[in-house]
Structure 1
Amino acid sequence: MEQLVRTFFNTYAHQPDGIWAAPGRVNLIGEHTDYNDGFVLPFALPHRTMVAAARTDEQRWTVHSTTTGETVTFGPPSLDERVPGWAAYVAAVVWALRDAGYTVPGALMALSSDVPQGAGLSSSAALECAVLTALNDLGELDIPVHERPSIAQRAENVYVGMPCGIMDQSASVLCRDGHALFMDCADLTSEQIPLDLTAAGLAILVIDTRAPHRLVDGEYAARRAACEKAAKLLRLPSLRHATLSDLVRVGDELLRRRARHAITENQRVLDTIALLGDGKPEEIGPLMTASHASLRDDFEVTVPELDTAVEAALAAGAHGARMTGGGFGGCVIALVPASATDHVTAAVEHAFAAAGFGPPATFIAVPSPGAARIA
């Protein structure tokens, strides 16, 4: 934080008005269900994007990235023309706020982040929600907290062009320390689910495969379009309303598999919630593993690095493991005995070396709080 303040001062020659932060997330279970009006169960990471910001009197926004060393300035005309590169995520928030009718204050901003980029841990949502939280406070916009995820999602959907669901932004804004966020994406209601794995002698090990994670290249959009087409064939508003017995009416085999994943994944979320409520967190492992198999076979969003990490973690004693995020690269999460994290990590590293992959990165995920002013 102190380094960010120094960077802000060196860039703008005065102190920021404050510092805001928003976290990345992992999704315990419920993948590719959010845009199908389904259920999700993410929790926030301790990894955050931080924004040091100061209000200005001009309708201009200047943002400096400590990651790239670049400084970008844009105003209303640039918003209409689409700001390129990493600054598009900042411009997208300004655009979405203005589009929602808010008078957005001009601002000077400096960004830093320890959310791994391209790992499927929602680094983009963390950036969007940190900027949105800062602008809300700087401009005294009084945006209801429950409305902020939708604004950030619209920023990414419409301005950036990534057709994500609302889970990532909701997790970054709404999550609480020590809890997972059980969210119904049909009506956006949510419930905080206690997730004290340490007390149960368990841990969530995040395995960043470091396989390239690309979603805006069309694959994510193709999966969403397939789900929407399947729902239309079933004459349903979304796959949230479909059952496995409905699949006999989907003649296209590919669409049938895509729909089967969404239907079964929703049920796995509900089953996970039930087990956590019964005090049986170790028993959610097989549901996580079944989720990965569905994402691999029916939804086809895994890559060899993800599958290798899951297989190695399970062979080393994990209770369950699955890819997390949109897929096509990124991370795996494994539910492991707390005493076995080093053993499982070593097993995954060995499997990666044997397969000729680069070494993965690992860390323990601890449920953390959502977006807020921190200084």
Structure 2
Amino acid sequence: MKELIQESQSRFPNEDIRGVQSPLRICPIGAHSDFQNGKVTGLTIDASVDMVYSPSDTGYIQVYSMDFPDKEHFHVKTRSDYIPGFWGNYLRGAVLAIQEDYVLKTGLNGVISGKLPIGGLSSSAAVTTAYLMALCDVNGIQFSKMDLIRWSHWVETEFIGLKNGILDQSANILSEDNRLMLMDCLDWTYDLVDQGTDWPEFEVIIVHSGITKQLIGTDFNNRVDESHVAGWLMLEHGGYDLPKLDDVRFRHIDRSIYDAERAHIPDRFGKRADHFYTEQDRVEEGAKAWAAGDINRFGQLMFQSGESSFYQYESGIPEMKLIFDTLKETEGVYGARPSGAGYRGAVIGFINPKFKEAIKAAVDAVYPKAYPELADAYHISFAKQADGAHYVDLQGGQV
């Protein structure tokens, strides 16, 4: 954050300088369930997208990224279009999302940066939250956490074009240290589950694969469509009323219907249903294990979630499967699963900190040999659990 302050002061000398930290998130259990209105878990870590900003009475927004070239510059009253591949899209979308409910008059000057390689930890949700909070702050807009989730989700689905759910936004905004967020994506209710008293010290390992391809260019949306078809086929074969295909969600289809009709659902469509209904069981069991302080059981459920993501949801790539298999076989890893939809990004896990160096060495011994073209691109990081998105008091020296 200090580097951002210095950069901001050199570009935009202003005494009224403010800050926001928006952490990266992981989903230990609940993969590929949010866009089916299922239940998911999430927590945030002490790696974040940080933004330093100050209000601009001109109404112009100027933001520099420390991680990407160029700057974003436009007036709040200008409707800026989506530009494929441009990092400023999330800022443009944030402005439009808030303008659905409020009139923005005050612009801002800002500098933003993220920690850890981009991909797999929902940096997109983190950066969007940072923009939303900064824009609301300089415009004096009072908002709820649910407002932030709703706006951020609109940016990704309506402006960016992904068919995802609310997991990323919910975890980024609602999470609290030492608690597990349990979000019901059907009605947007949630619980923050306290760690059981026997829960040991742990850290999160993030093994970034070096693959950074954006989700919109992968099979992510195809998997969502296949899930719609699977649900539709179950209803059709069972003789139930059929909604529009895009309106079909597994969560709206009772488990008894899945049990009765599963044998009639062909090939990949049946696998998509298998993943969802078993993953929902794992979410429920995981919340109980967290509350009971049973990290070993929780870790087993993470491994099961990872296996189902690879073999039932079929979202994996060989690079991430190798990382997952290596972690699964390494002492000191409680559990692991792919993150970032499995098409690019990271594999995350819960580990015993005493084995940190040995775990890193195990991955280093395998991955660059198997994929020498990624030897300089993959990255191993460790993090601790932390609070969700929040403002930072820069004037009071709390950096």
Match of 1:372 in 2: 390
Q: Establish whether residue 322 from structure 1 lines up as the match of residue 337 from structure 2.
A: yes
Secondary structure of 1:13's counterpart equals coil
- Is the CA contact 1:202–1:337 (under 8 Å) kept in the aligned structure 2? yes
Match of 2:369 among 354, 357, 361: 354
Residue 196 of structure 1: how far off its partner (Å): 7.6
**Cα RMSD after superposing both structures:** 2.2
Residue 250 of structure 1: how far off its partner (Å): 4.9
Amino acid paired to 1:340? F
Residue 325 of structure 1: how far off its partner (Å): 2.7
- Is the CA contact 2:180–2:290 (under 8 Å) kept in the aligned structure 1? no
Match of 2:238 in 1: none
Amino acid paired to 1:226? E
Secondary structure of 1:130's counterpart equals helix
Amino acid paired to 1:163? K
- CA 1:102–1:271 in structure 2 vs 1: closer, same or farther (change >3 Å)? farther
Secondary structure of 2:324's counterpart equals helix
Q: Establish whether residue 272 from structure 1 lines up as the match of residue 286 from structure 2.
A: yes
Q: Distance in 2 between matches of 1:16 and 1:305?
A: 46
Match of 1:333 in 2: 348
- Is the CA contact 1:22–1:372 (under 8 Å) kept in the aligned structure 2? yes
Secondary structure of 2:277's counterpart equals helix
Secondary structure of 1:86's counterpart equals coil
Residue 51 of structure 1: how far off its partner (Å): 1.6
Residue 354 of structure 1: how far off its partner (Å): 3.4
Match of 1:79 in 2: 79
Q: Distance in 2 between matches of 1:104 and 1:152?
A: 20
Q: Distance in 1 between matches of 2:8 and 2:202?
A: 40
Match of 1:299 in 2: 313
Amino acid paired to 2:249? S
Deviations 1:268-311 (A, max 9, x none): 11111111222211112221111111111111111112111121
Q: Number of aligned residue pairs: give it.
A: 374
Q: Structure 1 regions of 5+ residues with no counterpart? A: none
- Is the CA contact 1:16–1:52 (under 8 Å) kept in the aligned structure 2? no
- CA 1:197–1:68 in structure 2 vs 1: closer, same or farther (change >3 Å)? farther
Q: Distance in 1 between matches of 2:29 and 2:141?
A: 34
- CA 1:363–1:76 in structure 2 vs 1: closer, same or farther (change >3 Å)? closer
**TM-score normalised to the size of structure 1?**
0.92
Identity percentage over the alignment?
Answer: 23
Match of 1:238 in 2: 249
Q: Distance in 2 between matches of 1:266 and 1:231?
A: 15
Secondary structure of 2:27's counterpart equals strand
Q: Distance in 1 between matches of 2:123 and 2:75?
A: 24
Q: Establish whether residue 33 from structure 1 lines up as the match of residue 4 from structure 2.
A: no
**Which is worse superposed, 331-340 or 36-45?**
331-340
What pairs with 1:133-282 in structure 2 (closer than 5 Å)? 133-195=133-195, 200-233=200-233, 234=235, 235=242, 237-240=248-251, 241-243=253-255, 244-248=258-262, 250-282=264-296
- Is the CA contact 2:77–2:104 (under 8 Å) kept in the aligned structure 1? no
Q: Distance in 1 between matches of 2:283 and 2:370?
A: 32
- CA 1:76–1:106 in structure 2 vs 1: closer, same or farther (change >3 Å)? closer
Match of 2:239 in 1: none
Q: Distance in 2 between matches of 1:46 and 1:340?
A: 20
**Which is worse superposed, 78-87 or 152-161?**
78-87
- Is the CA contact 1:44–1:368 (under 8 Å) kept in the aligned structure 2? yes
- CA 1:108–1:262 in structure 2 vs 1: closer, same or farther (change >3 Å)? same
Match of 2:56 in 1: 56
Match of 2:300 among 253, 264, 286: 286
Q: Structure 2 regions of 5+ residues with no counterpart? A: 236-241, 394-399
